[in-house]
Every structure is written in C-alpha cells, then in structure tokens.
C-alpha cells in the first residue's frame, strides 16, 4: 500500500462555537483603507446598523455598541444597572452564568447563584422560590444565559419572565444571547427581556471585537437612578449620541462596522425566521448523527432533552481520551476544528480529554454540516472508538426532509 495522502488542503472548517465561520462577503467588506472618522460615509453606515441590530434582537427599544468581546458586553450591561452592594440572582447552567456572575462581583455587586450544574436547564420552581424569599425586593436583576455555550443548554426565557410576572417581582430580566442571537429564536420585546447582551463573533458572523447591549425603558429608569456609571460603559451616549464619537466612546471600530454592515445585509436577505429554521434543521441533523453514534459505544449528547438543546452548538461526551483524540484527528487529518469541552472537567484532570463540542452557528449550510459529520464519523473509525452505525444516513434524512 502507498502512504496515505494528506487530506488537509482545501477550505478549513472552524466548527468551534465562536468565532464562527466568517462569510467571504464579510471578510471582503473589511478589505479597504480606514475611512475618515469625522465625517462622511462611515457616519451614515454606523447609524444604519442600529435599526438592523434592533430588528435581529426583535426590539424597538435602545441599542448600545461597544468595542469589546462578550465579557465586555457583560460588564457594560451590569455597570449600567448594578451599583456596589446591589443584589442580583443568577440561575446558572454550565459555565457562562458563573462568568457573568463574576463580572458582578468585580463591580462590587452581590450575586446569588443558583447552580443547576452542567446537564440540566433552569429549575424555574427554584428560581421562583428564591424570588419569593426576597420579600423586600432587593434583587435588582436576574442574569439569565439563554444558550450556555459550554453545555449547549438552551434555557426557557419566556418561562423565566412568567415566574417574575406571576410573583410581581420588579427585578430586571437581563439575558445573555451571545451564543443564540441569529441562531435560536429570541424575541426581546415579546419575551419581556429588559436587557439583552450579545457579541459579534457568533450568530452575527463578524470578527470578535464588538459587544452589544439592548435595553428597554424600564432598564433605562434603573440606569437613571444609579449613583454613578463608568464613563466608558455608560450606555446612554452610545444609544443616543449627539456626536459621532459617542457611539463608540472614541474612535469607531471602522473595519468591524463594514463587516457588520455586510453581515446584517446577509441576515436581512435571508430573513431571521429562515435563519432560525436553518439552524433548527442543521441542529437536528447533528443530533440525529450523535444519537446513531451513541446507540453503541461511549458517545452521548450532554443535553438529553431536545427541548432544551441549543440550535447553535452541541456538547458531546465521548470519554477520555477519546474526545481530545477525535479533535486532534479531524484537525490534523481533515482541517476540521471542533470545540474543546469547556468547563466539563478541570484542565489537567485526565477526564478533560473526554469531551468535545460542535459549533453549528452562523454561516453554515447543509453540505458543511454533512461534511463535518462525515469527518467525525471517519475519525471514530480511524481511532477505533466504538460507535453505532447509520449516523450519516440519519443526518442525510434530516437534511433531505424524508
């Protein structure tokens, strides 16, 4: 037998859950000299982004743009409504609720964390009990991660709104849609979210570096009653700028704005409802394959109940050392990069090597998902990791709709 040819040449697929695949149109939009930031086209372009961002967020309220990643958007949101000593409630599933809670600690707030672990969504009864116990209404906000990217759990935001409403609790509902916006259905106004945060590099298909905070009038009233808000994170001038530089608290992130303009054009062309439907179908193809693989051998989806699974990312358990071995194999052999298992075990613990995640968010289509699943299937075979048959058949049926 001759030696095996390399199969790495060709377009790579970065299937980690963010940064997601960037469309060529988005990349090309950035390929130009810097514009004048004091006058001219960039001023109009920046203004044009705001209504389109609000329409993706399904809100008629306000939007502030930050030069930041998701952590910056987290800090921006809480900096406007949480003063030192203020209490917030954080129902956490997986890593990201804990991360947002830690930002609150950093600005002197007092989070109360309800940790539901890595494999179960929020228990809304327990959230209700914690709010009921707060008879003085000291809890100022509930920090809610819609899709936890580490566990791939999608939480029930309308259900959480109902808990607050039924109890007549005035806390702000603040939602992290960093992994879900532009992938999973999210309706800021209809679902009664008061604040929503997201970032550019996931469903919005734009390089990391922009953070967004959307807020309604109730949140704005809380902002107005704050003793002080840091100049840079203050959302008021950004959402209602008198001068162009106030949108960004300084120099505009010019090339990110070109990229985002193009990405929002693509989103408008496809339509957000179609985007949600595409993600739902592609997610079902991934799940169908994972179920078939898991019918024999160690593979298991982290989230067993499909009703609480994200349409943008799927976390899987394969047992150590198979998770890392599979990621390494598809990366080195096929130029396909899968996500690590985030927060599932401590780095350094041998169990850390038992997990992986598939990012299927943003600019992904049927052939990319079928190729990705084929790559994983080949990896399981090459590495002799036990698995059930029929995964690609099952995924093809979902894509074919038969």
Ligand X SMILES: *Cc1c(COP(=O)(O)O)cnc(C)c1O
User: Can you give the binding site for ligand X, defined by CB under 6 A?
Assistant: 18, 69-71, 96, 145, 147, 149, 176, 178-179, 199, 208
Which lies closer to ligand X via its Cβ, residue 80 or residue 206? Answer: 206
Which lies closer to ligand X via its Cβ, residue 208 or residue 237? Answer: 208
By beta carbon distance, the residue nearest ligand X is: 70
Which lies closer to ligand X via its Cβ, residue 176 or residue 194? Answer: 176
CB of 9 to ligand X, least distance (A): 30
CB of 321 to ligand X, least distance (A): 26
CB of 143 to ligand X, least distance (A): 11
CB of 151 to ligand X, least distance (A): 10
CB of 373 to ligand X, least distance (A): 22
Which lies closer to ligand X via its Cβ, residue 148 or residue 291? Answer: 148
Which lies closer to ligand X via its Cβ, residue 29 or residue 175? Answer: 175
CB of 199 to ligand X, least distance (A): 5
Which lies closer to ligand X via its Cβ, residue 80 or residue 200? Answer: 200
HEC-encoded secondary structure of the chain = CCCCCCCCCCCCEEECCCCCECCHHHHHHCCCCCCCCCCCHHHHHHHHHHHHHHHHHCCCCEEEEEECCHHHHHHHHHHHHCCCCCEEEEEECCCHHHHHHHHHHHCCCEEEEEECCCCCCCCHHHHHHHHHHCCCCCEEEEEEECEECCCCEECCHHHHHHHHHHHCCCCEEEEECCCCCCCCCCCCCCCCCCEEEEECCCCCCCCCCEEEEEECHHHHHHHHCCCCCCCCCCHHHHHCCCCHHHHCCCCCCHHHHHHHHHHHHHHHHHCHHHHHHHHHHHHHHHHHHHHHHHCCCCCEECCCCHHHECCCEEEEECCCCHHHHHHHHHHHHHCEEEEECCCCCCCCCHHHHHEEEEECCECCCHHHHHHHHHHHHHHHHHCCCCCCCCHHHHHHHHHHCC
């Amino acid at each position: 037998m001759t030696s095996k040819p390399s199969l790495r040449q060709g377009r790579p697929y970065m299937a980690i859950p963010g940064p997601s695949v960037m469309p060529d149109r988005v990349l090309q939009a950035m390929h130009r000299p810097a514009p004048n930031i004091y006058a001219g086209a960039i001023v109009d372009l920046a203004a044009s982004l705001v209504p389109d961002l609000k329409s993706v967020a399904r809100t008629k309220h306000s939007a502030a743009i930050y030069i930041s990643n998701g952590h910056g958007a987290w800090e921006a949101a809480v900096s406007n409504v949480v003063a030192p000593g203020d209490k917030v409630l954080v129902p956490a599933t997986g890593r990201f609720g804990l991360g947002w809670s830690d930002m609150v600690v950093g600005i002197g707030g007092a989070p109360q964390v309800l940790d539901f672990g890595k494999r179960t969504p929020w228990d809304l009864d327990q959230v209700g009990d914690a709010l009921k116990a707060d008879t003085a209404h000291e809890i100022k906000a509930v920090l809610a991660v819609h899709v936890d990217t580490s566990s791939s759990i999608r939480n029930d935001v309308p259900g959480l709104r109902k808990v607050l409403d039924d109890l007549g609790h005035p806390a702000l509902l603040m939602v992290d849609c960093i992994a879900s916006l532009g992938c999973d259905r999210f309706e800021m106004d209809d679902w009664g979210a008061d604040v929503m945060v997201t970032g550019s590099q996931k469903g919005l298909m734009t390089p990391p570096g922009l953070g967004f905070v959307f807020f309604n009038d109730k949140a704005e009233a809380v902002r107005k009653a704050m003793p002080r808000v840091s100049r840079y994170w203050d959302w008021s001038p950004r959402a209602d700028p008198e001068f162009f530089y106030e949108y960004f608290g300084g120099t505009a992130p010019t090339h990110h704005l070109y990229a985002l303009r193009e990405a929002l054009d693509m989103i408008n062309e496809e339509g957000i409802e179609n985007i949600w439907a595409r993600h739902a179908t592609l997610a079902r193809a991934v799940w169908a394959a994972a179920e078939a693989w898991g019918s024999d051998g160690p593979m298991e989806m982290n989230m067993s109940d499909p009703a609480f699974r994200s349409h943008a990312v799927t976390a899987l358990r394969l047992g150590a050392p198979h998770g890392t071995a599979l990621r390494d194999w598809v990366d080195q052999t096929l130029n396909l990069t899968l996500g690590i298992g985030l927060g599932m075990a401590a780095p350094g613990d041998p169990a850390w090597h038992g997990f992986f995640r598939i990012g299927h968010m943003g600019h992904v289509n049927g052939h990319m998902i079928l190729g990705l699943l084929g790559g994983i299937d080949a990896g399981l075979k090459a590495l002799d990791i036990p698995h059930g048959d029929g995964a690609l058949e099952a995924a093809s049926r979902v894509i074919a709709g038969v």
